[in-house]
Amino acid sequence: MARAIMIQGTGSNVGKSLLVAGLARALLHRGLSPLPFKPQNMSNNAAVTEDGGEIGRAQALQARAAGVAPHTDMNPVLLKPETETGAQVVVQGRRMAPVEARDYGAMRDRLMPRVLESFQRLAARADIVLVEGAGSPAEVNLRARDIANMGFARAAGVPVVLVGDIDRGGVIAQIVGTHAVLDAGDRAMIRGFAINRFRGDVRLFDGGLPVIERATGWPSLGVVPWFTEAWRLPAEDVLDIASRPGDGIRIAVPRLPRIANFDDLDPLAAEPGVSVDIIEPGRPLPGDAALVLLPGSKATVADLAAFRKAGWDVDLAAHIRRGGHVLGLCGGYQMLGTEIADPDGIEGAPGRVAGLGHLDVRTTLGPEKRLSLVQATYRPTGDRVSGYEIHLGRTEGADRARGWLDIGGRSEGAASASGRVMGSYLHGLFSDDGFRAAYLARLGAVSGLAYEDGVEETLDALAAHLETHLDIDALLAMAAEI
């Protein structure tokens, strides 16, 4: 019979995803069969699964840490923000109609059975299910419609370990305050707590642990120091990529309001000879960039308008005149064309808008979403490329005749006559060392990085880190049979 334990946090971005990934790898090393599970995630950084759906990319990394392929049951509800107040709802990997935030709570009774269904299927094939919460259980104003934290924990009978982030400051208040605002039933689900992201000598917090234990009655599972190699793992937040500039050539990435599937940037950011610079609105695209990379977008038409509002269209034209290279991926590829038509009103009112005009292609958006894992060949060198497609729309035009990828005999992508402006729907291609080295060579950079090997080594190091600083035996003892 499988067991389960849930990792909840005192807030968003306290390191829950990384802890679950590290625990999954640590338990795999112990000979167990762990599986990750997150009832509800909110992210535009999605992964395509072998069963033809999509889940949050953090759960895909956790699956990798557990030594299994990602599956839609690992993240049965995925919210993909499209506007400030609305999001697309993906249930068990399948896209549903967009919903406004004010209306989402009414979907709880429809979604919870699907969440529990996915959880039980995972439990049938695991020794232990590692469940990740979302946000904080202390948001008691949302408790009645919760499926992500205590709502799930109580419905499924899964005990909880609460994690606080000491790097933010006030970690005692984070944990004791959570204890104070929870009702008795929710409070009883928490079996222990842990402190994450400690910088410096952890012995300096020896006096803090008893304070929390006395105030809450919960035992401590340990103080986990800052894991310095975390940047080597695929980032969940695009800003985590921006914090690690390297040496050598500069790649500029305009930060679109609805930037999506930016995992393309992780292997580039890991290159010692590359500096990935995330450009916020208000900053011009840098004149010394070797490459401007236009990333994916969850709302291409709206993000194109934001791109122009930031003045980046002028900067991009100047970059091309200077002989710079441009790569558009998915939504960025669509923006580089001459026109984006939306006859069915997929992204708003029906109509069409002019693209940036740097590729002679036109895109028509439609209701059918393409989700597929792909094996391709980079035509200039013959390097094999593994990636995925996740997009709405079809792109056609003269520059498609210069497609630079081959997918089973089908030409993919487009390129300008000069070859310096390129676009494709294929995500994830930079994870392949051969393609990445060949593409960077066009920009004057040399790559000797074995990216995927580095990810595996870092997951192993993370597991060892948690074995040293977290009482995993106690955590396993807290897990409940399900």
Active-site residue flag, 29: no
The SS3 call for residue 445 is coil
In sequence order, the 6+-apart residues with CB closer than 8 A to the CB of 140 are 181, 182, 183
- Backbone torsion region of residue 357, taken as left when φ is above 0, otherwise alpha when ψ lies between -120 and 50, otherwise beta: left
The full DSSP string for 175-238 is: HHHHHHHS-HHHHTTEEEEEEEEE-S-GGGGTTHHHHHHHHH-PPEEEEEEP-TTGGGSPPSSH
List b or e across 29-41, with b for residues whose CB sees 16 or more CB atoms inside 10 angstroms. Answer: eeeeebbbbbbbb
Of the candidates 71, 179, 427, 465, the residue annotated as catalytic is 427
The one-character DSSP state at 134 is -
In sequence order, the 6+-apart residues with CB closer than 8 A to the CB of 393 are 300, 334, 340, 363, 364, 365, 366
For residue 387, what are the β-bridge partners? 374
List b or e across 399-413, with b for residues whose CB sees 16 or more CB atoms inside 10 angstroms. Answer: bbebbbbbbeeeebb
* Residue 239 exposure: Cα atoms within 13 Å on the Cβ side: 3
Active-site residue flag, 427: yes
The Cα 318–Cα 213 span in angstroms is: 60
The answer to whether 58 and 236 are in contact (CB under 8 A) is yes
Closest among 242, 245, 244, 204 to 223, alpha carbons compared = 204
The answer to whether 421 and 415 are in contact (CB under 8 A) is yes
For residue 363, what are the β-bridge partners? 340, 395
Output the six-digit token pair for 243.
């914090």
Owner of token pair 């005999």: 409
Give kind and range of the element (H or E) at residue 78.
Answer: strand 77-81
Output the six-digit token pair for 452.
């995927």
Of the candidates 330, 391, 465, 469, the residue annotated as catalytic is 330
In sequence order, the 6+-apart residues with CB closer than 8 A to the CB of 117 are 76
Catalytic residues, which ones?
Answer: 330, 427
